[in-house]
Amino acid sequence: MSASTQTETETPAILKKVDPAPWEEPPLVLNNRSFGWVTEKICNVVESKTPAWWWWCFITALFVASFTGMGLVYLVSTGVGVWGNNNPVNWGWAIVNFVFWIGIGHAGTLISAVLCLLKQKWRTSINRASEAMTVFAVLCAGIFPLFHVGRVWFAWWLFPLPNANAIWPQFRSPLEWDVFAVSTYATVSILFWYMGMIPDLAVIRDRAKQRWRKIFYGILSMGWRHANNHWRNFEMAYLILAGLSTPLVLSVHTIVSFDFAVANLPGWHTTIFPPYFVAGAIFSGFGMVLTLLLPLRSVFGLHDLITQKHIDNMCKIIIATGSLVGYAYSMEFFIAWYGANSYEGFAFINRAFGNYWWSYWIMISCNVISPQLFWFRKIRENTPLVWIISIFVNIGMWFERFVIANTTLSRDFLPSSWGYYSPSIVDIFTFAGTFGFFSVLFLLFLRFLPLMPMAEVKMVMPQADPHGGKH
Amino acid sequence: MTKVMDIKYGLSATFNSAKDLFEAAGKVREEGFTNWECYTPMPVHGLDGQMGLPRSKVPCFTLAGGITGFCTGMLIVWYMNAFDYPLIVGGKPYFSPIYPFPVFYELTILFSAFGTLFGMFFLNGLPRHNHPVMEHPKFGKCGDDKYFIVIEVEDPKFDDDETQEFLKGVGGKSIIMIREPID
């Protein structure tokens, strides 16, 4: 009070203190739902009778997944020549599919780890399904480099294990770094996903009626009993795993980008690759999260838990990362010109106007142009349209890896070694099948595991506040 | 039917909101009880302080895991590429802490993560599939929307009648004695 009188009498040049206008955050769970409602809603997905649509999707997914199975059996029994890889394009679709699937996984870790550290409470209702997506996407990714080695039964030579040849892995190779990065990423993602699920599995265990459920969920939940002492250690462990996963997720795509950037090839040998790959990975991952969650939201009626605010936030992250990726595309061109290296310059002109010009422009239109539509609220609120754009994002990001890998390899330093790469039918079916494989795993996840972290959703509800709103 | 014996485990009181439980927990601590526990459907903000619990020890396990991972990474690279089978690749040194950076970086994270998870299990005494508190007839509700405070018979200040009165006094509902069956 004395301050205000002082302001008026002695220092009239200073304006009166103005309190900021109160900003009402929209609630994260709509319609003022109770804890019981959340428990029922999420447990019901697992406990109710298997719906008919689930079986149809599951059978279709199994059928599609068999393409990968057949493709790999044919590859192993015949040889890696059944793929379209040639000289000079020795990598072909295998590396494209690998980087594509690994990138998809990154959004799950971003939501569960980075947004946790940043205290973004809206992450709670989408993090479990996104983490599941991460785990399954990494499994799909692993298939390609594993079989690309040719004699897959020797793939264990990649690991530092003693073998009959008495030789060891060569740790100066980026491909060896990949082995460590990707296997660590897969393991830590599974640990994080599983640990977060333990309290929810215990809830399902306590509600279980059938004997097999009691045993199955009983074993998985490790005897969790919701005690405060459990929560205390759990929360600390969760925070630490989030802190560990953040540098991990940034390092994984950085190391994946080293596969390219460490090679002395025009178009690959650039320092922009690590951040550009990480931004692209998050971009594609959020595309996939939207592709998966929007149908789930309407099938299971989760509109009160995955609200428009969630969709808005994800769309905004897509704008941000999509713009970063667009910036990286233009910066690559600028540096190719500014660096005055004729090979580098050619590589980029060739990317946009050379033998694979069509893939470059698919990439630009899907990755740079389509996410800009999310600036408009009308578009963000049109769920079917958001879903369609999210698929464009996925297509665009697959083409980005295709462009990077193939334009450079097919136009080598010497025109005498130039070539053109087209995938074989085996390539196409093996890749298409991974979507089936992914869907099989995701459908099993929906049927048997809690698709949202109940405890975490309850934590962001007003009832969880022990001080009754007076903080 | 054989007669099933049982032993008393503790007195349980139910609370309907996080606020009620939070206030009651403070009173239980002030009363001087030591063997007691709160059961809640989600972590309640600030309850550790209210119960007088120290910071969790999980980070010690993380650190131990991280150090193990870092040393393992450095050691395998040095042993394999510089000691057991030295090989010149690209004119680079046999061993340097720079080129295998991704290897020990990832192993540090991997072992830290294992340390964190298993440390959490160890500190929580898990897996433990049976526990007397699970004999509570409404145990499942504490994963849903109810909050329990359980004061164990073991507690030096425990007294059947007095503790029951005390729990009533702090606002506890449906106070029951949890009994663990033995045969």
Task: Indicate which CATH number applies to the domain containing A250.
Answer: 1.20.1630.10
Distance CA A178, CA A159 (A): 11
Q: Is A163 on the interface with B (CB under 8 A)?
A: no
Q: How confident is the model at residue A3 (pLDDT cuts 50, 70, 90)?
A: very low
Buried b (16+ CB within 10 A) or exposed e, A257-293: bbbbbbeebbbbbbeebbebbbbbbbbbbbbbbbbbb
pLDDT of residue A114: 85
For A34, name the nearest residue in chain B, comparing CA atoms only: B145
pLDDT of residue A120: 83
Cα A200 → chain centroid? 23
Report how many domains make up chain B: 2
Residue A454: inside a domain: yes
Q: Is B67 on the interface with A (CB under 8 A)?
A: no
Contact A234 B120 (CB under 8 A): yes
| Nearest CB partner across the interface for B106, out of A180, A219, A468 | A180
- Check whether A223 has a pLDDT greater than 60: yes
| Nearest CB partner across the interface for B39, out of A172, A191, A226 | A226
Which residues of chain B make contact with A222, given a CB cutoff of 8 A?
121, 126-129
Residue A20: inside a domain: no
pLDDT of residue A38: 86
pLDDT of residue A471: 47
- Check whether A122 has a pLDDT greater than 90: no
Same structural domain, B164 and B112: no
- Check whether A7 has a pLDDT greater than 60: no
Residue A357: inside a domain: yes
For A462, name the nearest residue in chain B, comparing CA atoms only: B18
- How many C-beta atoms surround the C-beta of residue A156 within 10 A? 9
Q: Is A453 on the interface with B (CB under 8 A)?
A: no
- How many C-beta atoms surround the C-beta of residue B117 within 10 A? 23
Long-range pairs of A372-377 with CB within 8 A, sequence gap ≥ 24: A372/A319, A372/A322, A372/A323, A374/A315, A374/A316, A374/A318, A374/A319, A375/A319
- Check whether A342 has a pLDDT greater than 90: no
Question: What is the extent of the structural domain holding B70?
Answer: 58-124
For A187, name the nearest residue in chain B, comparing CA atoms only: B110
Q: Is A189 on the interface with B (CB under 8 A)?
A: no
Question: What is the extent of the structural domain holding A90?
Answer: 47-159+169-464
Contact A231 B58 (CB under 8 A): no
Q: Is B37 on the interface with A (CB under 8 A)?
A: yes
Contact B80 A222 (CB under 8 A): no
Q: Is A460 on the interface with B (CB under 8 A)?
A: no
Mean pLDDT for A332-344 is: 89
Contact A225 B131 (CB under 8 A): yes
Q: Calculate helix-pair angle for A174-207, B101-124, nearest 10 degrees.
A: 20
* Interface A-B: count of C-beta contacts within 8 A: 199
Give me the torsion for CA of A44, A46, A51, A56, rounded to 10°.
150
Task: Report helix, strand or coil for B57.
Answer: coil
Domain boundary, last residue among B124, B142, B164: B124
Report how many domains make up chain A: 1
Q: Is A157 on the interface with B (CB under 8 A)?
A: no
Q: How confident is the model at residue A2 (pLDDT cuts 50, 70, 90)?
A: very low
pLDDT of residue B4: 66
Q: Chain A window 9-48: which residues touch B at a Cβ cutoff of 8 Å? A: 34-36, 39
Q: Is B13 on the interface with A (CB under 8 A)?
A: no
pLDDT of residue B160: 81
Same structural domain, B108 and B64: yes
A216 burial type by CB count under 10 A (0-12 exposed, 13-18 middle, 19+ buried): middle
| Amino acid residing at B151 | I
pTM of the model: 0.89
Higher pLDDT, A18 or A237: A237
A168, A198, A233, best to mutate vs chain B, most B CBs in 10 Å: A233
Which residues of chain B make contact with A226, given a CB cutoff of 8 A?
39-41, 142-143
pLDDT single digits (tens) B98-156: 888 899 999 999 999 999 999 999 998 888 888 888 888 888 888 888 888 888 888 88
Instruction: Say what the ipTM of the complex is.
Output: 0.90
A171, A191, A194, best to mutate vs chain B, most B CBs in 10 Å: A171
Q: How confident is the model at residue B1 (pLDDT cuts 50, 70, 90)?
A: very low
Domain boundary, last residue among B109, B124, B139: B124
Residue A311: inside a domain: yes
Q: Is A121 on the interface with B (CB under 8 A)?
A: no
Contact A468 B55 (CB under 8 A): no
Among A363, A234, A381, A219, residue whose Cα is nearest residue A303: A381
Contact B117 A456 (CB under 8 A): no
Distance CA A459, CA B44 (A): 8
pLDDT single digits (tens) A249-270: 889 989 989 988 888 888 888 8
pLDDT single digits (tens) A349-365: 989 898 899 999 999 99
pLDDT single digits (tens) B46-81: 888 888 888 889 999 999 999 999 999 999 989 988
Q: What percent of chain A has pLDDT over 90?
A: 42
- How many C-beta atoms surround the C-beta of residue A58 within 10 A? 17
Residue A284: inside a domain: yes
For chain A, what is the mean pLDDT?
88
| Nearest CB partner across the interface for A244, out of B109, B120, B143 | B109
Among A385, A380, A382, residue whose Cα is nearest residue A313: A380
pLDDT of residue B119: 93
For B61, name the nearest residue in chain A, comparing CA atoms only: A237
pLDDT of residue A330: 92
Mean pLDDT for A412-420 is: 85
What's the token pair of residue A15? Answer: 């304006």
Same structural domain, B144 and B113: no
Distance CA A199, CA A454 (A): 8
Task: Report helix, strand or coil for B55.
Answer: coil
pLDDT single digits (tens) A287-301: 999 999 999 889 888
